Structure 1
C-alpha cells in the first residue's frame, strides 16, 4: 500500500527499534485500515477457493520467499505471477492468512504450493504479519530489528517528485493566478528559500490574507502545453514547479498625496504679455496598489518576477493497488518526463492523454505498445504500403490524475517509449 501527500510521498512507515529480549517489548502502532475494493475482494475470494492455474505462475517462481525490507508488492507479485499487476490474485492465494491485501510485512514467509494443475500461496506467520507460534529463546541477549510497516505497492522514490510538483491546468487558470511582481532586495533578480518577494493577483481577485483563504502556495513557471498526439488538441498546460511560498501580508492600497501646481495666464506689467502664475497648490490624493508579501519556504529553482502562485492543495492519502480498467481503454503517450529526454525507459514517468473524465483511476495498469512501422511490401509487384501490427512493449501504472491527462510510471519495458506510443488494457 502506498500513501501519498503533496509535500512528501511516504509508504505507510512503521516503527523501527532495537528490541532486547528479556526487556519490555516495544509496542508497534496499529496499521491503518485501508479500503479494499469490492472487485478486488471478489477476485481474491474466487482465487482463494481454487488457486490459480500453473500457467499463471512466473517461470522461476520460488517455492519459498521471505519478505524483506525494501520489497514492494509489485516486485513480490512478479516473483510468483507472470503478470505482476494481477495483484489481487496473489492476495487471494493467501487470503486465509492475510486478511487485508495491503498488510504484508517484512519478515513474513510465503510458501508456494502446487496441487494438481493449480497453485496456492500460503503465509506461515499469521494474520497481518503477527506471529502465531511460540518462540523459545535461550537466556542470552539477542538484538532484533522490529519489522517496519506494510509494504508499498511500488518504490515511493520513483514517483515522489511527481506527487506534488507537476500541475496541469487550463491556460485561463494559469494566466489568472497571482504572480510575483518584485523582490524585496531590489539589487537581485532571483529569490530562493528564506527570501521575501511581492505578488499581485488579477484586479477582480487580489491576493488577500483572511480567514478561509489560502496562505500556502506552490510557485510555477511558464506552463508547457500538453498536445494530444492524435487530435492535436491542447489537453492542458503543465506548470514547471519551482518552489513554495507562504503569504505573510495580503494586497492593500495606499493613498499618496501629490502636490500638483496649476498655473493660469497673467499679464506682464512691463511687456503687456501673458505669463503663467500659480493658481493653486492644494495636494491631490491618488490610490496606488500595494502588492502582497510572500516568504519563500522552499525552492527547487530560484524564482523571479512573472512566476505564478497557485494554492497548495489539501493533503491526500492515496492507495495504489494495481488493477485493470473495468472497460476497454486506449490512450497515447503525450509527454516523456525528463530534461531533454525523448524516450522513456523503466521507472520513468510518462503523461498520457486520458484522465478522470475518461474513467482512468489510480492504480490502473496499461500495456504499452510499440507502433508498427509503415513500409512498402517489396514482395508485392504493386509495391503496396503496409502497416505492421503494434507489439507489446511493457507495462505502465497510473499514479496521478487530472481531468484530461494522467501520469504513469513505466514498470516494465522492452524498447524505449516515445510520444505517440499506444497504451491499452493489460494483457
Structure 2
C-alpha cells in the first residue's frame, strides 16, 4: 500500500492559456479568491532564488517550482502588489523577490513596478494573452480529441458504411456515405475511429474506448445513408469510422490546481503518444474520472515501487565458497540450505546416482517501497478515466505505476 499522504487544502488559483498571436504574455493569479487555512507552513526550497526575472516562455508552474517542492501551493507565498493596475499579473521582465512577514515567506514583484521593454507594438493584457500553468503545446492535441466512449455510445453512433466507386478509403474532398444522419445540410461532423479499450488496472473492468480523431466532414444530404464531404483529415477514413457532431475547440480559460486525496488513488493505464517510458510533458490516462470525483486541475503524485526484488546479499550464499566454506565443514552440510527437488538421470562424475536431491541456500525476496517518482495534473476528465500531463518525472515512469495524493 502507498504510505499515507495527507491532502493539502486547496487555495484558489486561476491560470489562463497563452495567446498564439505573439510572445508578449503574462501570468495571471486571479484576484478576489480567498486564502484558506493551510495544511502546514510552506517552506521554500533550499536553492530558491532571492531574485528572479520572469522570462517569455515561463509558466506559473515552472516559476513556482523554483520556490516550492509543491508548485500548486504558489498562492501560499504569492503577495499581491498594491498600486498597480492588475496586482496579480506577472509579466516577462518582472523581478520577483523574497521577503518575510510574520516568519512566513512571501514572493512579490520588486517595488511593485514593472520593467517594460519599449517595442513598436501594442501591449495586450487580455486574459487570452496570459502565460498558462502548463505548456499548452503539450496538451493542445488532446484538449478536444481523442474522446473516450463506452460500447453503447460507439454502437449507437452513425458510422461510415462506404464510398463512391467502391473505393477502400477516402481523403480530403472525397464523399462518404454514413448511416442514419438526419440534420441540416452544412452541419459539421467529426470522424472518429474506435481504438484501444481502457481497463481498470486492478479489476480489469472496462472503462471505455479511446476514439481517435480521423478528420472532419460537412453534411451534404441527410438520410440513411447520409452524404458528407471530408473537409479535414489526419488519416484516411475507412468503413466503420464513427461520427459525432463537431464541437468548437474549448480554450483553456482556467485551471484550479489542487492535490487529490488518497481516496482518488488509481493507476496509469495508458500513454497517448505511443512511448514506452513516460517522461515530463507526456500525456497519460488514469483509471479514475468524474465518477470518482476527479476534476480538471487535480494534481496526482506518480509512484514507483511494489515490485518484488531478490535480496542479492543473501543470494550470494548460493555460492557455497563465498565464505571459503569447505565440504569438510559441518555448516556446509547442515547450514541454511533448502531442498528444491530431485534430479533424475543426471549422471556425471559428481552425481554417481541416477536419483539425488537438489538443494540451494535459502534466499529472501523483498518488496520495493513506494516512492514518489513524478507528478501529473489532470487537464481533461471523463466519467471513468482522465487525461493528465506529466509535470515532473524523477525517473522513467511506466504504465501500471500507481497514482495518489502528491507528497507535501
SS in 2 for 1:310: strand
Matched, 1:105 2:108: no
- Aligned partner of 1:192 in structure 2 is 171
Pairwise CA RMSD: 3.6
Match of 1:237 among 196, 209, 215: 209
State how many pairs are aligned.
343
1:378-393 equivalences in 2 (<5 Å): 379=314, 383-393=363-373
Task: Go from structure 1 to structure 2 and tell me whether the alpha carbon gap of 1:14 and 1:234 turns closer, same or farther (over 3 Å shift).
Answer: closer
Q: Distance in 2 between matches of 1:34 and 1:94?
A: 9
Matched, 1:398 2:402: no
Match of 2:284 among 323, 326, 350: 350
1:127-138 equivalences in 2 (<5 Å): none
Task: Go from structure 1 to structure 2 and tell me whether the alpha carbon gap of 1:347 and 1:99 turns closer, same or farther (over 3 Å shift).
Answer: farther
Answer yes or no: is the 8 Å Cα contact 1:198–1:291 preserved in 2.
yes
- Aligned partner of 2:396 in structure 1 is 416
Task: Go from structure 1 to structure 2 and tell me whether the alpha carbon gap of 1:15 and 1:208 turns closer, same or farther (over 3 Å shift).
Answer: closer
Unpaired segments ≥5 residues, structure 1: 4-10, 19-27, 201-205, 252-289
Match of 1:146 among 100, 103, 123: 123
1:278-289 equivalences in 2 (<5 Å): none
Q: Distance in 2 between matches of 1:80 and 1:242?
A: 42
Using the size of structure 1 for normalisation, the TM-score is 0.70
Using the size of structure 2 for normalisation, the TM-score is 0.73
Q: Which of structure 1's runs of 4+ aligned residues deviate more than 6 A?
A: 33-37, 97-102
Q: Distance in 1 between matches of 2:219 and 2:370?
A: 51
Unpaired segments ≥5 residues, structure 2: 1-13, 316-335, 337-361
Per the TM alignment, residue 143 of structure 1 is displaced from its structure 2 partner at its CA by: 4.3
Per the TM alignment, residue 35 of structure 1 is displaced from its structure 2 partner at its CA by: 6.7
Per the TM alignment, residue 172 of structure 1 is displaced from its structure 2 partner at its CA by: 1.4
Match of 1:174 among 142, 151, 154: 154
Task: Go from structure 1 to structure 2 and tell me whether the alpha carbon gap of 1:314 and 1:147 turns closer, same or farther (over 3 Å shift).
Answer: closer
Q: Distance in 2 between matches of 1:355 and 1:99?
A: 39
Per the TM alignment, residue 210 of structure 1 is displaced from its structure 2 partner at its CA by: 3.9
Answer yes or no: is the 8 Å Cα contact 1:246–1:295 preserved in 2.
yes
Matched, 1:82 2:62: no
CA deviations 1:110-134 (Å, max 9, x no partner) are 22224685321122475xxxx689x
Q: Distance in 1 between matches of 2:264 and 2:23?
A: 46
Match of 1:294 among 228, 233, 250: 228
Task: Go from structure 1 to structure 2 and tell me whether the alpha carbon gap of 1:68 and 1:147 turns closer, same or farther (over 3 Å shift).
Answer: farther
Question: Computing the radius of gyration over CA atoms, which structure comes out larger, 1 or 2?
Answer: 1
